[in-house]
Amino acid sequence: MSAEATNPGNPEAADRRRGRPRPALRGLRRIGRAALLGPAARDGLPDALEHVAKVHRRHHPDADLDILSKAYQRAESSHRGQTRKSGEPYITHPLAVTLILAELGAETTTLTASLLHDTVEDTDMTLDQVRTEFGAEVCYLVDGVTKLEKVDYGAAAEPETFRKMLVATGNDVRVMSIKLADRLHNMRTLGVMRPEKQARIAGVTRDVLIPLAERLGVQALKTELEDMVFAVLHPEEYTATRHLVASYAGRPDPLAAIAARARAILADAGIEAQVLVRPRHFVSVHRVLLARGRLTAADLGRLLVLVAEDADCYAVLGELHTCFTPVVSEFKDFIATPKFNLYQSLHTAISGETGDVAETLIRTHRMHRVAEAGVIALGDPHVPTDGADAPEGERADPTRPGWLDRLLTWQRTTPDPDTFWTSLRDDLAQEGEITVFCTGAAADDPGGTIGLPAGASCVDAAYARHGEAGHGCIGARVNGRLVTLGTVLHDGDSLHLLMAQDSAGPSPQWLDHARTPAARLAGPDHAATASGLAVADLPGAAVRLAGCCTPVPPDTVTGFAVRGGAVTVHRALCPAVARMAAMGRQPVGVRWRGAGPGGPGCRVTLLAEAFSRPHLLPDLTEAIAAQGAAVVSAAVEPPHEQLVRHTYTLHLPNAAGLPSLMRAMRDVPGVFDVVRATTTVRS
């Protein structure tokens, strides 16, 4: 979690020279100068903390600043003597991260943990000391952030780090909030790194942290991160977009004229509202240009109308649609049906007298806070879970979105970090989420709602609702009609899953319909793999891998017979094995097929992303050969902006060698990422 170095000299000038976005540095400079002077206090508050405290009080007028002052002094003394690459005191980094969170409205406990977030990892301070001095809640958050460890970008540790990130975040989204703010500050200070390292960090930010910010609803962080990534990974397009926006400076702004007319209309109607012009960030402008092929001055921003109550939103909508020409196809009601990340707003588009079209967002002030800061704006929703059935230490988080629950479920069933990494990127790449209403599959099943990524099928719903028991799904009714299990579900569908009492396992054909990692990992993909890789000492029995521990060669495994004559294979250390043994269930001998611990050969397609350089292809193929893998086919895309992508279909002598092969390919100079392009199948 240690911060990267800042630019020496003038940061703003350096950013301008590189064509990068200019960060909001005013508050950061203030706390940086104060940090150089040490922890001197004014009216009991350290000078360096004054700006943070002022911003925090703006959102939380009654906040207790004593705990923040104590946390700052403890962090400053712990990090004393440590400096960043720019020569600044290290304390400037946790201060900057805390200021980012304070500006988003984070509550005091989050800010306290943010000030201390690097102390356990980078100083002599221990978690026990954090707990004694600041309480169990702050200790819990600091521990969660500490567990993320340092990300070694481009190395095999990276997927495992993000697995730990999800585990740490699982019971408290505030851990993720601190991580996102930490990344934002490090991205702001990325300039002194080598270009290849900048690209590597920006790539991970694009693939994982920006989608996570989107799913947590933290748009303020997401948009700034997007522009920074855009500048690093696509400098030519970024510069062209900046010049395009600058070319409109000094011209008449049609949005300002439409906003002025809208204010007058709403005032005449007796509706108290703020009407603002919100400029688009650079990535948003670039996306509009790609979608429409051209830009007008009205495309550079949107109107934002803020009101007090939900009902006022619809009153504003009625007035605007009456007095302007609405673009009906652009209307969306995210108040009645909020997005998966808690976002609420009315979206419409209206045409002014000159024909300019203004995209318009209508929301309450509270909706706006949530739209900007997501879960950070909701305060502290975490309380201990009571009840005999609650696991020890479990916490309730009513704001936690359904997508996070899904990730936490399937990450526990994926022991291979590379598989987890690929599946995580696939899941985060989903454009949206739908809600499906499930009717009970049995008399004692009350039914309920489940959240699924857009494009999910009935197969995905079966595993999302029933876990490994989804193997027993034999049919489905959607909105009362019998459909195939490959049917794609839509938001608001009513779903009734038809479940069999006994099942020997899922159909291998289901793989064609599985869209979510949970379905691919718990269901047909692993079942089909298991039937080829594992053999049971029970003649004629179908074999499948247990979804709870998902064993892979060369794990030590054992099996248990289940209904339908199948054998489920578990890792020997899986808790389910001990439970079944305690119940008197007799194990069935199982083993991996083939000689040696690695099992049979497999075929896999890998995508290597690298900086273009001479001899890259022979170096990669040499690394592949050194791992004992054979190249079946290879394809190299033409270089673009000095970046190149290689796609290899490889035959491995055993399945267990895949992680080490991917690590060896990443170690080739110039390669900054290697991912699976397709699911591994038996060859």
Strand, coil or helix: 59: helix
Q: Tokens 């670039």 — which residue?
A: 286
pLDDT value of residue 274: 96
Q: Count of alpha carbons within 13 Å of 263, Cβ hemisphere only?
A: 12
> How many Å apart are CA 559 and CA 483, to the nearest integer?
35
Q: What residues form DSSP beta bridges with 568?
A: 544, 560
Strand, coil or helix: 543: strand
According to DSSP H, which parts of 447-523 are helical? 458-466, 517-522
Task: Sort 439 into a burial class: Cβ within 10 Å, 0-12 / 13-18 / 19+.
Answer: middle
Active site annotation includes 196 = no
Annotate 282-297 with b (16+ C-beta within 10 A) or e (fewer). bbbbbebbeeeeebee
Give the residue ranges of the chain where pLDDT is below 70. 1-45, 86, 147-171, 340, 379-433, 440-447, 468, 500-533, 545-555, 563-565, 593-603, 655-656, 676-683
Q: What residues form DSSP beta bridges with 351?
A: 325, 357
- Which listed residue (12, 47, 50, 121) is catalytic? 121
pTM above 0.85, yes or no: no
In this structure, which long-range contacts are made by residues 415-419, counting pairs with CB atoms below 8 Å and at least 24 apart in sequence? 415/549, 415/550, 415/551, 415/552, 415/555, 415/571, 416/552, 416/658, 416/659, 417/156, 417/159, 417/160, 417/163, 417/659, 418/156, 418/159, 418/658, 418/659, 418/662, 418/675, 418/676, 419/521, 419/676
- Which listed residue (4, 122, 397, 468) is catalytic? 122
What is the end-to-end Cα distance of the chain in Å, rounded?
41
Q: Which helix (H) or strand (E) holds 199?
A: helix 195-204
Residue 137 in contact with residue 648, Cβ under 8 Å? no
Active site annotation includes 121 = yes
pLDDT value of residue 493: 85
> How many Å apart are CA 54 and CA 95, to the nearest integer?
13
E-strand spans in 202-329? 274-279, 301-307, 325-326
Q: Count of alpha carbons within 13 Å of 628, Cβ hemisphere only?
A: 12
Dihedral class, residue 433 (left if φ above 0, else alpha if ψ from -120 to 50, else beta)? beta
- Mention every residue, 6+ apart, whose C-beta is less than 8 A from residue 9: none
pLDDT value of residue 452: 79
Q: Pairing mode, if any, of strands 643-652 and 671-676?
A: unpaired
pLDDT value of residue 151: 41
Q: Count of alpha carbons within 13 Å of 324, Cβ hemisphere only?
A: 32
> How many Å apart are CA 507 and CA 531, to the nearest integer?
12
Instruction: Dig out the tokens for 529 from the structure.
Output: 């793999």
Q: Which helix (H) or strand (E) holds 417?
A: helix 417-428
User: How many Å is the Cα radius of gyration of the chain?
Assistant: 27
Task: Sort 670 into a burial class: Cβ within 10 Å, 0-12 / 13-18 / 19+.
Answer: middle
Question: How many residues in total does the chain contain?
Answer: 683
Please give the biggest Cα pair distance in the chain. 83
- How are the residues of the chain apportioned to helix, strand and coil, as percentages rounded to the nearest 5? 45, 20, 35
Please give the C-alpha separations between residue 322 and each of 268, 274, 318, in angstroms, as whole numbers.
13, 19, 6
